[in-house]
Amino acid sequence: MQVFLDANILYKDPFLKTGYLSLLKRLAKDDHIQLFISEAAYKDVLHHFQSQYVKLITDAKYAAHHMNYLLKKSTVTVHVTEEELVQYFEENFFQNVHDGVIQIIPLDERILHKVIELELSPIEPFFHPIKDVEGQHCYRKNIQEAITWYTYANYISAHDLQDSYFITNKIEHFADVRRLKNMDAFLPHPNLAHHRMKLCFKSVRGYLNYFPELLRFSLTSNVDEILGEYLVQFAKANLNVSVLHDIIAHHLIDNIEFEIMEKLLKLKPSAVHPDYQFPGHFVPKELIDCQHVQIEQIILYRECFLISCQMTFHVNVDVYVHPIVYLESHDPQLLYSSETLLVNTNVSFFVPISLNKEKWRDKMDGIEDLAAMTLEKQEDIWQYLLSEFNEFYNKIDLQHVEMHEVEVRNVDVKNKYTPA
């Protein structure tokens, strides 16, 4: 199975270290899938990385300058250059290339001819007919997306690939949006249907949910599959809310807080409550508590549980707005109010589990499925499982819980009122 990535999928995590991208990385390393990115998309990811961190360096130097001025010292310095950022990016990205995780498809000279052809004979989805401010007919062009798509299409054709998929969050640039109904998976635009890309997906999560067999435990027989099913049942029965709160408080809260605060810093107050009509921003102060926890899914992958939970957090924030006469971001701002926000998230994490598959296989020797077992043998197996997992918490390794992904789904004001 071949998976082709758009640049925007790697903007947040270009090295595939966290979240569902880390699962893609594991699957690629184990040769379950092949990952590809075009050279143009790679350069796009690099440019996005540079832009993001150069701004952070500029802001840090600006803050250091003011701190030194305030303290009448030169103790605060920032020693990071843009060249060092590029070197860091290339070293980490090409480590994945060297490890066989992802392949970069070189620029194809034929793409230039295709772009020229599109300019002369514009077609959807890369050229959208629109009207300009004067009401004249023109086209909105998506040249970067066209280059990415046709690079992949040419590669698929040249290598006669039969099982190819594309992941992008820019649905409207590759699909007929009128045919979409908020699905994770969608068919390519009719003008692109002949390019042998089977399906496109909005997200990595959508792709993995569409192929659940990819996330199954590395089982080698029906007997191991039975064990896997039992393990998930035991996890659902024993991982209660108090255990989840304990895992969050001791192992996950720092990661969760960082992701939530980062999201809130980028959020406009007007997106949360209609009372905030002026330009402004939130300044997060404190993550107070976790109000609600509910397990959504438990999957056994390798020797870990991948647990996905819906969680709601209370977060105290200050709301800053620009006075009416000041609308630019660098102009004075006023503290408008303080609020407590309800932040609904989906948090997923790995919990390692200690297994003894050899002992299990000995117990199941000669048995291929439960239906073929006698009642006495089934009772014997159940007693074995009960004794093996009676002390369930001794089997799971809470000291090595690993954050997988934090997705902020919705933000609302806690004490929201609606005028009569």
pLDDT in tens, 47-86: 988 888 877 777 777 777 777 777 777 776 767 777 888 8
The percent of residues in the chain predicted with pLDDT above 70, rounded, is 77
Q: What is the predicted pLDDT for the residue at 105?
A: 92
Q: What is the pLDDT of residue 3?
A: 94
| Cβ atoms of 306 and 258 closer than 8 Å | no
CA atoms of 178 and 155, how far apart (whole Å): 28
Top-ranked range on mean pLDDT: pick from 133-137, 190-194, 332-336? 190-194
Check: CB of residue 201 under 8 Å from CB of residue 167: yes
Q: Could you tell me if 257 and 315 are in contact, meaning their C-beta atoms sit under 8 angstroms apart? A: no
Of 342, 341, 338, the residue nearest 318 (C-alpha): 338
pLDDT band at residue 166 under the 50/70/90 scheme: very high
| pLDDT tier, 326 (very low <50, low <70, confident <90, very high otherwise) | very low
pLDDT 10s digits, 47-57: 988 888 877 77
pLDDT for residue 325 is more than 60: no
Maximum mean pLDDT: which of 79-93, 155-169, 356-370: 155-169
The alpha carbon of residue 288 and the mean position of all alpha carbons in its chain are separated, in whole angstroms, by: 25
Cis peptide before 125 (omega within 30 of 0): yes
- Domains of the chain plus CATH, in order, are 2-210 (3.40.50.1010), 216-413 (no CATH)
Residue 103's pLDDT band, with cuts at 50, 70 and 90, is: very high
Confidence band, pLDDT 50/70/90 cuts, at residue 36: very high
* Percent of residues, the chain, with pLDDT higher than 90: 8
Q: What is the pLDDT of residue 218?
A: 47
